[in-house]
Amino acid sequence: MPTVVVATGNPGKLKEMQVYLNDLGWQLELKPDAIDIEETGSTFVENARLKAAGVAKALNQWAIADDSGLEVQALGGAPGIYSARYADSDQARIDRLLRELAALNDRSAQFVCALALANPSGDIVFETKGICPGEILLEPQGTGGFGYDPIFYLPALGKSFAEMSPAQKDAHSHRGIAFAQLMPDLKKLALE
């Protein structure tokens, strides 16, 4: 069974990726904490490429990276690539975002997920970007998910990400969309 390193230290992200990649028969593992790739890109795609290539080269193994976040129209796309660094905790990030949107009528937003797969030499073999449009709620709804999920609302389903079952979220999220786009290519790939 081929091993692919997920260029993250987040076990939750690894678990989510395992669901999407289950059919490939890959063994996924977290990158070692000692490897820290600086996210110096100006887009989600650039950061995913940097993380995948950096981890692949450092370990001489296949690596997959995801860079994702929330873009809010009324805030000029913020928090964007700084979504995880917008504040010190999930609750603080949600509170800050709701404060910044308090006097604004436009609540449109989108979650973006960029994926990149690098071979052991650090060359990017495949990449894609998934986008899930939605709206920011006035207050959190639901207890599932993580990050901005309690305030990200999908009008088509009438639910926030935090109110969805894991299967619903997998099917409709930016990450689910990105993996669905990437899977045909990954299925053709024979990893050593």
Residue by residue, DSSP assigns 62-93 as: EEEEEEEEEEEGGGTT-BGGGGGGSSSSHHHH
Write out pLDDT tens, residues 62-89.
999 999 999 999 999 999 999 999 999 9
Top pLDDT among 103 and 19 is at 103
Instruction: For residue 60, give Cα distances in angstroms to 36, 39, 49, 91, 109.
Output: 15, 20, 16, 37, 38
Query: Strands 159-160 and 152-154: what pairing?
Result: antiparallel
Query: Strands 108-118 and 27-30: what pairing?
Result: unpaired
Strand arrangement, sheet containing 62-72 = 27-30, 3-6, 62-72, 108-118, 124-136, 152-154, 159-160
pLDDT of 118 higher than 80: yes
Output the CA torsion 133→180→37→189 (10° steps): -160
Residue 22: which pLDDT band, with cuts at 50, 70 and 90? confident
Instruction: For residue 78, give Cα distances in angstroms to 28, 70, 72.
Output: 31, 7, 6
Catalytic residues: 67
Report the candidate in 23, 65, 20, 69 with the shortest Cα–Cα distance to residue 170.
20
We find that the CATH architecture of domain 3-188 is Alpha-Beta Complex (3.90)
- Spatial contact of 6 and 13, defined as CB atoms under 8 Å apart: yes
Give the residue-averaged pLDDT of 43-57: 97
Give the residue-averaged pLDDT of 5-32: 88
Domain-wise residue ranges, the chain: 3-188
